[in-house]
Amino acid sequence: MSSPDRRSRTLLAALLSLVTAVGLLTLTTGPAAAAATGQITGLAGKCIGAAGGNTAGGTAIDLYSCVGDATQQWTLPGDGTIRTAGKCMDLSNAGTADGTKVQLWDCNGTVAQQWIFSSARDLVNPNANKCLDLTGGSSADFTVVQLWTCNGTGAQKWTVPTSSGSGFVVTEAQFNQMFPGRNGFYTYSGLVAAISAYPGFAGTGSDTVRKQEAAAFLANVGHETGGLVYIVEQNTANYPHYCDWGQPFGCPAGQSAYYGRGPIQLSWNYNYKAAGDALGIDLLNNPWLVQNDAAVSWKTGLWFWMTSTGAGSMTGHNAMVTSAGFGQTIRTINGSLECDGRNPGQVQSRVDAYLRFTQILGVAAGTNLYC
């Protein structure tokens, strides 16, 4: 990217202070820093990896579809480095100028290999005080990443893997117990990866509140998907109904492209637009990402949970962290069809799932379970 009028960010000291406060990826060493391994995704939900799958020192890092390439698996060991194939993400010649090549190199402990994941989802090299960036702001396959002045654009927004020590209160064993018959698409690793986009999810308040929120979210999405079985809406006759041509952006993916998908069954062109804008992913033009990429799919569910008041007066997240109760999450998600006696059987199904999940997590369910 080469715009000359990009604004620089805060001074390095302020940045380090901010990141230390949020604690997403700190430059700590020793056993207290838990390792995390997984994909790093950027624009269009694509992954970064070594160009051509090469692992030699000096290999450029680029963006391409998440294909399971071994070099698309990155480890964040907690010491500030980002590693794959036994090498580190490195700035060529320890450069600090805009356009500096980002490459694989033997890990050497230098400032050229230190990265901080900020609360704004930037990957920042603190020595240069600049961000990991997609050249030209492009999401095309094989777009090379580079160092560039931080500017807040989607080309600098990343989702990084989080570790089992990241604070998520549901273990993989508990997740499997909750959804024994789930579709393999709904992976635990995809959910954990998605949480990095919304670290406040199941990360706010006491241990009890965090477990209650996790149980509430999973109970609702389990209900929406038949126990995490269905990835897409089953009634195909509804598919053409979710295009609102009154929106200025229209329906570029087609009249029938915005049907329900994912754990929250995201539907309507305006919801795909809003979710994509929030996540830095073009879901308006490529809604199929929600049914093809587990991490993107989970992110759309968390986007709704954390940001939308839906048919209620508060987000699902706020309902749980303020002790308004599980019933308010039902009202937010489907209150106009289920609450106030409209469909008590559906409400009871959600409550039953929530009670079962809180029992699995060993936490009280709280009050105000119904709407």
List pLDDT tens digits, range 304-351.
999 999 999 999 999 999 999 999 999 999 999 999 999 999 999 999
* Total residues belonging to the chain: 371
CATH 2.80.10.50 domain extents, the chain: 12-156
pLDDT for the residue numbered 35? 59
Q: What is the DSSP track for 165-212?
A: TSS-S--HHHHHHH-TT--TTS-HHHHHHHHTT-TTTT-SSSHHHHHH
Kindly report the number of other CB atoms within 10 A of residue 260's CB atom: 23
Per-residue pLDDT reduced to its tens digit, 151-197: 999 999 998 876 544 458 898 889 999 999 999 999 998 898 888 88
Q: Which DSSP letter does residue 60 get?
A: B
How far apart, in whole angstroms, are the C-alpha atoms of residue 112 and residue 102? 10
CB contact set of 25 (below 8 Å; sequence gap of 6+): 19, 76, 78, 80, 115, 116, 117, 160
Check 172, 213, 224, 338 and give the catalytic one.
Answer: 224
| Residue 72 · residue 104 · CB < 8 Å | no
Is pLDDT at 21 greater than 70 in this prediction? no
Is pLDDT at 93 greater than 90 in this prediction? yes
Per the prediction, the chain carries an average pLDDT of 86
Fold of the 12-156 domain: Trefoil (Acidic Fibroblast Growth Factor, subunit A) (2.80.10)
How far apart, in whole angstroms, are the C-alpha atoms of residue 242 and residue 235? 12
Q: Helical H runs in the chain?
A: 12-22, 172-178, 188-195, 207-224, 269-279, 289-292, 294-307, 316-321, 326-338, 344-361
Q: What is the DSSP track for 226-273?
A: TTTT-SB-S-GGGGGGG--TTSTT--TT-TT----BTTTTB-SHHHHH
Catalytic-residue membership of 213: no
- 271, with CB counted inside 10 A (0-12, 13-18, 19+), is buried
The residue-averaged pLDDT of 10-39 equals 38
Highest mean pLDDT among 46-60, 190-204, 249-263: 249-263
How far apart, in whole angstroms, are the C-alpha atoms of residue 298 and residue 303? 9
Fold of the 172-361 domain: Lysozyme (1.10.530)
How far apart, in whole angstroms, are the C-alpha atoms of residue 338 and residue 361? 27
CATH 1.10.530.10 domain extents, the chain: 172-361
